[in-house]
Structure 1
Amino acid sequence: MSRQEMFFNPVMEEVNGVNKMVMPYVKDAERTADPYKFDLDQNGVPLFTDKNIAFVNGMVENDSNYNQTDKDELCKIFEGMFVGNADHRMACIGRAVYEIDNENSTRLTAVGLYKIDDLMKKLNLKPVEMTEPDDDEEKKTIDDGEKKKTITGGVLFTSQIIAGIENLKERLSVGDDRLVFEISHASTTYLNEAHVADANKINFSFATKFCHWTCQYLELGDKYCIYDNVVASVLPYFVDNYASGELASWDCCRMKKIKRGKGGQELVSTIENYKKDDDGYTKYRNLYDAVLEGINKWRSENNQNGEIGYREVDRLIWYYFKGASGKRVKQALASIDY
């Protein structure tokens, strides 16, 4: 029995005049019964089954690499962004920006090729010591065992811009796309308005993660999908297998062939180009929504429990495809009939 027959019984469906495979889940009893193995599709890519999602959630939630700060403390930090006096709110915004940047390695502190110390001197600013998210008059500074933690460079500039955004919580609660653009350009905006540097720093990934996690911790709902280089690099595979309608077209998917060694070719995703567009996040989220809709349609047809959202889809894709020198990404994209 071939791998495709073992895990799948492909059914073809006409989409925009093109026959595409829909994905009815066929259980492989031995693999499905094993809690430490992913349920796979015909190309060896994990399916969005309840088991797979629970498996990844368990791995991430219990991995200290992804839980460097206590969850209760993080809740206080994000709530503190919108309560108390101005100093308290600013301190919490700085902490929130720092924690998201630190846990996701979005390299927010650096601003292009500029030296942070030089920029801080030109702005007459000093690094800000981080404090505990309490309203006590006597603030407790935070250290890493050796020295006090501080907020500086792009983290500080971004925090200042976020603090100045009017109706931030209301805009987050409705999933305002424009917030991603404003926050991703925060360092550039801050430095250009101060006339100290002609910066052009865009941190699209951080902006999506700030909006996503702020909504999560404030229980505003699953309003923002995360942009991550790993997810973006393999998203065309999921567009091809789950999306339908206009957004399943290759123009939207934005892939290209590149030459590799001895005349060979391989497919690579160019979805990262969305970062350069003023409406890039809107385009990216529309594409992601088409995939999410297809995933939930598949789950409904294959006896899975309810719909899932951005968080579950992002985690499963990111966890499976990160690392491995990009080998899994290449294999997934190579399976697309392009």
Structure 2
Amino acid sequence: MSIEIEANPDAPNRFRNPYLFDLDQKKFPLFTDKNIQLANAMIAYNSSYNRYSDDDLKQMYRRMFKSGKETRKNAIRQVVYVTDHINSTHLTALKDKHQKQVECGSAKVIVNKDKCVLKGGAYLTAEEIIEIKNLRRLLNEPDPKLVRTIALAAQKRARREKQCDINKNNFSFATKFCHHASRYSGETDDPGKAKYCIYDKVVGEVLPYYACAYMPAADIEDFCNRNAEKCDGGTITKSRYSSSCFWIAATIKELAASDKYEEYADLYCSVRDGINNWRKDHGSLAKGEISFEEIDSLIWYYFKGARLDEARKRLKGLGGDWGLCR
């Protein structure tokens, strides 16, 4: 890894306080068991974040794989509505190249016994997902092409049915749909591990820090150089940025804009592996390996809101004196 992650020397008592997050020396949260449990508890018991119960969500996702054509259709529509609603991925907005709102069909869905309307880009996305063959298998494999298919679903259907020339990339929604749906896509009803990692603004800005912290420097260099040729006309080069953190962030942003999930997932998996190596070496703080859902929950909860602004300031202040960031 690029630096040796250690506890924040200014706050050693945090590790003994069950209500405070464990921080590293740069005041970013560590992936300790306590931090993961604390973030999950905060999400579970805060009504601002937990709009739907775990049981409601599990049943909803599982119904996508039940027998019966209409049952499956309605379940997929419900999942699209709820995923968009919870994560504010703005699926509904659908405008053509002249910024004119595109009118399209709609469908009624029942969520927690409430009648809701699925419309706009959300409706078109759901109708495309309904037509995906072997959805369960693709969620299990996983298949990077599935993310691209879902990300561009509204655009594809609007052009085909409405003859509307629009550009609608729902990459963030697609990763979240696949992430959550893959947990319940197995042959049994028992929830498993997510097979897809999530991309959103928070993760895109913070993941570069954890890449620099937990990945070998040579792997970071290889990732960015390899993808520089695929992104922004090959101009995502290290010399343009004040630190490797910002170089990685720019690369991630371009990968998301061009629907290159496989390359983004490659980085995320490398960060996950580095975190798990750290956890093996710190058995008093962490037991066993973690996966996408634990990493995403901690990053999403901890950096939601004002802490993201603070993180941006710290990243700018790291400069050339921190590991690979020079």
CA–CA distance in 1 between the matches of 2:292 and 2:221? Answer: 21
The residue type equivalent to 2:297 in the other structure is R
Is contact 1:49–1:299 with CA below 8 Å preserved after alignment?
yes
Aligned to 2:203: 231
Instruction: Give matches, 1:120-269, under 5 Å.
Output: 120=104, 125=105, 127-131=106-110, 142-143=113-114, 148-218=115-185, 219-244=191-216, 246-249=218-221, 252=224, 257=241, 267=246, 269=249
The residue type equivalent to 1:285 in the other structure is A
Q: Does 1:309 align with 2:281?
A: no
Equivalent position SS for 2:110: coil
How far the C-alpha of 1:29 sits from its partner, in A, is 4.7
Aligned to 1:94: 77
Aligned to 2:279: 299
The residue type equivalent to 2:215 in the other structure is A
* 1:93-147 Cα distance to aligned partner (Å, 9 max, x none): 100000000000001111135555x522xxxx3x2111369xxxxxxxx43xxxx
Is contact 2:148–2:261 with CA below 8 Å preserved after alignment?
yes
Aligned to 1:22: 4
CA–CA distance in 1 between the matches of 2:24 and 2:192? Answer: 33
CA–CA distance in 2 between the matches of 1:217 and 1:33? Answer: 35
How far the C-alpha of 1:332 sits from its partner, in A, is 3.1
Cα distance change of structure 1 residues 333 and 56 upon mapping to structure 2, 3 Å threshold: farther
Equivalent position SS for 2:56: helix
How far the C-alpha of 1:178 sits from its partner, in A, is 0.9
Structure 1 or 2: more helix by fraction: 2
CA–CA distance in 1 between the matches of 2:37 and 2:86? Answer: 21
Report the aligned-residue RMSD.
2.4
CA–CA distance in 1 between the matches of 2:246 and 2:63? Answer: 45
Of 258, 277, 284 in structure 1, the residue corresponding to residue 264 of structure 2 is: 284
CA–CA distance in 2 between the matches of 1:112 and 1:275? Answer: 20
The residue type equivalent to 1:119 in the other structure is E
Equivalent position SS for 1:35: coil
Is contact 2:7–2:22 with CA below 8 Å preserved after alignment?
no
CA–CA distance in 2 between the matches of 1:130 and 1:285? Answer: 32
Is contact 1:94–1:156 with CA below 8 Å preserved after alignment?
yes
The residue type equivalent to 1:275 in the other structure is A
**Which range moved further: 296-305 or 193-202?**
193-202
Aligned residues: 294
Max radius of gyration: which structure?
1
Cα distance change of structure 1 residues 168 and 246 upon mapping to structure 2, 3 Å threshold: farther
Cα distance change of structure 1 residues 329 and 318 upon mapping to structure 2, 3 Å threshold: farther
CA–CA distance in 2 between the matches of 1:115 and 1:71? Answer: 38
The structure showing larger relative contact order (alpha-carbon pairs under 8 Å, at least 6 residues apart) is 2
Name the TM-score, length of structure 2 as normaliser: 0.82
Aligned to 1:334: 317
The residue type equivalent to 1:63 in the other structure is N
How far the C-alpha of 1:177 sits from its partner, in A, is 1.0
Cα distance change of structure 1 residues 283 and 246 upon mapping to structure 2, 3 Å threshold: farther
Aligned to 2:232: none
CA–CA distance in 2 between the matches of 1:76 and 1:234? Answer: 32
Is contact 2:202–2:300 with CA below 8 Å preserved after alignment?
yes
Instruction: Give matches, 1:30-69, under 5 Å.
Output: 30-69=13-52
Equivalent position SS for 1:111: coil
**Tell me, which stretches of 5 or more residues in structure 2 are unaligned?**
186-190, 226-235
Q: Does 1:274 align with 2:255?
A: yes
Name the TM-score, length of structure 1 as normaliser: 0.80
The residue type equivalent to 1:181 in the other structure is R
Cα distance change of structure 1 residues 31 and 57 upon mapping to structure 2, 3 Å threshold: same
Is contact 2:6–2:24 with CA below 8 Å preserved after alignment?
no
- Structure 1 stretches of 4+ with a deviation exceeding 4 A read 24-29, 113-116, 253-256
Aligned to 2:228: none
Aligned to 2:93: 110
Aligned to 1:119: 103
How far the C-alpha of 1:196 sits from its partner, in A, is 2.3
How far the C-alpha of 1:221 sits from its partner, in A, is 2.6
Give the percent of matched residue pairs that are identical in Structure 1 and Structure 2.
36
How far the C-alpha of 1:174 sits from its partner, in A, is 1.0
